[in-house]
Structure 1
Amino acid sequence: MINDTEGEGSSQNLSMKKRNQSNRKERRRNEEMNLAYARLQRCVPHIPHDQKLAKIKTLRLAMLYIKHLEAVVDGSVR
């Protein structure tokens, strides 16, 4: 019976370690995504740098800006 309890404890410890490792990886991934959105937002003009936009708003404004730049390159906008 002692061995069964020890086995359960060690598998719980292993599960907890894996969960903690997964949580750290997810936090790091989220931090990197947030940094990428912040960098993208800084590339789009007319948005105050201290203003935090929703991610979808950042993406939509970036798409509009890219379309504008394409029009400038094509010569249809000055």
Structure 2
Amino acid sequence: GGGGKKPLPAKGSAAECKQSQRNAANARERARMRVLSKAFSRLKTSLPWVPPDTKLSKLDTLRLASSYIAHLRQLLQEDRYENGYVHPVNLTWPFVVSGRPDSDTKEVSAANRLCGTTA
């Protein structure tokens, strides 16, 4: 708002209404933070090298998760080049699938359909 404080009404009904709205907003914010904390907790348990009892900040959790995703992406890229298995190679939707050069055409097109591509 702008300016100084207004005097409270004698009965307090406007102040009570404002306090009730504030309490409701606080409750919504607490619920939002609980959901967010639970999501970060689940994310932390998805990181294989972090012991369950380790305290991590949200920022550290995001950094480790990002690093783990980059690691998995690298494994997929290496696997693609070494083994030629059919799996997503660009890792963004819609996935682009690359198969072995000697693979059966039906197998590749079935994999393309499963991954949402039409190529």
Unaligned 5+ residue runs, structure 2? 1-8, 80-119
**Partner residue in 2 for 1:58:** 61
Is residue 78 of structure 2 the alignment partner of residue 75 of structure 1? yes
Deviation at 1:55, TM superposition (A): 0.6
Q: Give the TM-score taking structure 2 as reference length.
A: 0.57
- Highest RCO, 1 vs 2 (Cα 8 Å, sep ≥ 6): 1
**Partner residue in 2 for 1:43:** 46
Q: Give the TM-score taking structure 1 as reference length.
A: 0.85
Unaligned 5+ residue runs, structure 1? none
Over 4 Å off, 4+ runs: none
Highest Rg: 1 or 2? Answer: 2
CA deviation vs aligned residue, 1:18-62 (integer Å, no higher than 9, x gap): 000000001111111110100000111110111120110000000
Q: Which has the higher helix share?
A: 1
Q: 2:30 aligns with which of 23, 27, 30?
A: 27
Supply the distance in 2 between the matched residues of 1:23 and 1:5 (Cα, whole angstroms).
26
RMSD: 1.2
